[in-house]
Amino acid sequence: MFRRWRALTFTLLYLAFAVAFFHRVAPTVIASDMAESLGASAFAIGSIGAMYYYAYSLMQIPSGILADRIGPRLSVGGSMILGGLGSIVFALSPDVFTANLGRLIIGLGVAFAFVGTMRAAASWFDPRAYAMATSWIILAGNAGAVLAGSPLAWLLNYVSWRSVFFGIGLFSVALALAVLWLVRDTPARAGFASSPGIGPTGTGGAIWPRLKDALRQRNIWLSLLAGGGIMGGYFGFTGVWAVPYMEVRSGLSQQQAADILTVSLFALAAGVPVCGWLADRVIGRKPLIVICAAACAVIWLVLAAWPSPGYWMMLLLLCAYGIAGGAMVAIFAITKEQSPPAAVGFSIAVVNTGLFGAAAVLQLVLGWVLSLTTSPAYPQGNFVAAVALLLGGSTIGLIAGLMLKENPQHAVE
């Protein structure tokens, strides 16, 4: 019965995170259609894509506090209603301003899904299995990202992007109601006698002393930089500019580029549980983070230097980056280990803020770099400059990873 209830709880929470990931990636596939429909420039499309990340990043700290204070059921369920309404606004937007508003509301609404699910996992799973539990959460999110790749590109042959986001909005509202009805924050609140994790949420008491204690942890800030360096660039790139990059630099069609993006997201999905296993059982968490950060820097270097990477090279490089992105599980595991138990959600939210804050800034900056010309086609030289920025970010992530300290209890000898 315990396993069944846990499976029900996390199926609903996983679906909520999958919706959040879908919204994160979908703009890169609909970028051309959206630009035509709204009469938008490259900078405007970049701002629409980035608006999600600004809102998402802004809400990470509040989502962590609320996950610790009122629990995942209320924080995730309530916010998903807002996310669904934002998707409907985005679908009906007549201009760039309204599209930005819709994406802002989406970001505010779905921002609670990841931290809430991670906080629930801290209560429902044994601490020794937390990295693997985290990997399944991220794997579920990547399922949503995969749907935003080739499947979405195929669907756009039959329906408009507006119809897709209107339907996602209705689904999100229905899912939110299911979370509020069926999810339980801890095993105890589901009627079970004991909890394998850290215990209940909503324990009361002063919030600020817990938060100050968490913010004193050096590893939280290093994890923030490492996560932002490794995955901020990937999400910033794949969230809007991956498909246009491959169309211009590699001469690929929209469908070919979307196919590569989808395979890369599959690689990320596959790499997450593998990295969780490696971090828990084989090489430890810090070594995994350093290796993956170094691999990401090399990939951006190749993309910046290669004049015209073809289909197979793009497939290889983006798949390799997807696998390296599995280092997220180790980053969040280190964060959880050194966080005060009453502020786990807050600590994870701080790190997640760095990850998606980096993606938000990079999406906007990349859009600005690509808009330095009046040409309708994005210039090759500007794409080189854009990728060089991503290389700089991943280098910062590598340096932060080297400075991390791993809990000796979780290091692999």
DSSP 8-69: HHHHHHHHHHHHHHHHHHHHHHHHHHHHHHHT--HHHHHHHHHHHHHHHHHTHHHHHHHHHH
Q: What are 3-15's pLDDT values in tens digits?
A: 788 888 888 999 9
| Contact by Cβ (8 Å): 383, 263 | no
Residue 174 pLDDT exceeds 90 = yes
Please tell me whether residue 278 adopts helix, strand or coil conformation: helix
* pTM (predicted TM-score): 0.67
Q: How far is CA 325 from CA 15, 135, 240, 252, 411, in A?
A: 21, 11, 18, 24, 20
Highest average pLDDT, of 337-346, 361-370, 399-408, comes from 399-408
Q: Is the pLDDT of residue 290 over 50?
A: yes
pLDDT band, residue 178 (cuts 50/70/90) = very high
Residue 238 or 157, more confident: 157
Would you place residue 407 in the very low, low, confident or very high pLDDT band (cuts 50, 70, 90)?
A: low
Averaged pLDDT of the chain: 81
State residue 412's pLDDT score: 47
Smallest CA-to-CA distance from 213 within 97, 347, 305 is with 347
Q: Choose from 89-98, 188-197, 239-248, 374-383 the range with maximum mean pLDDT.
A: 89-98
Of residues 341 and 284, the one with the higher pLDDT is: 284
Q: Is the pLDDT of residue 202 over 60?
A: no
Q: Is pLDDT above 90 for 91?
A: yes
Which CA distances in Å does 254 have to 147, 249, 376? 16, 13, 16
In this predicted structure, the answer to whether residue 219 has a pLDDT above a threshold of 90 is no
How much of the chain exceeds pLDDT 70, in percent? 88
The residue-averaged pLDDT of 291-305 equals 90
- pLDDT for 206 equals 57
Percent of the chain scoring above 90 in pLDDT: 21
Q: How far apart are CA 152 and CA 130, in angstroms?
A: 32
Nearest CA among 262, 223, 231 for reference residue 356: 231
Is it the case that residue 192 has pLDDT exceeding 50? yes
CATH code of the domain containing 170: 1.20.1250.20
Burial (Cβ within 10 Å: 0-12, 13-18, ≥19) of residue 306: middle
How large is the C-alpha radius of gyration of the chain?
20
Please compute the mean of the pLDDT values over residues 147-171 and round it to a whole number. Answer: 90
Is the pLDDT at 95 greater than 60? The verdict is: yes
When divided into structural domains, the chain yields a total of 1
Residue range(s) defining the domain that contains residue 348: 2-199+207-410
Sequence-distant (6+) residues with CB within 8 A of 285 are: 131, 279, 330, 331, 333, 334, 406, 410, 411
Point out the least confidently predicted range of 24-33, 151-160, 305-314, 354-363. Answer: 354-363
Quote the pLDDT of residue 205: 52
CA distance 144 to 147: 5
Per-residue pLDDT, averaged over 335-361, amounts to 75
As a whole number of angstroms, the distance between CA 307 and CA 203 comes to: 57
Contact 129/145 with Cβ under 8 angstroms? no
In the predicted structure, residue 374 carries a pLDDT above the cut 50: no
Please, which pLDDT band fits residue 251 given cuts at 50, 70 and 90? confident
| Higher local confidence (pLDDT), 341 or 205 | 341
The mean pLDDT of 5-33, rounded to a whole number, is 86
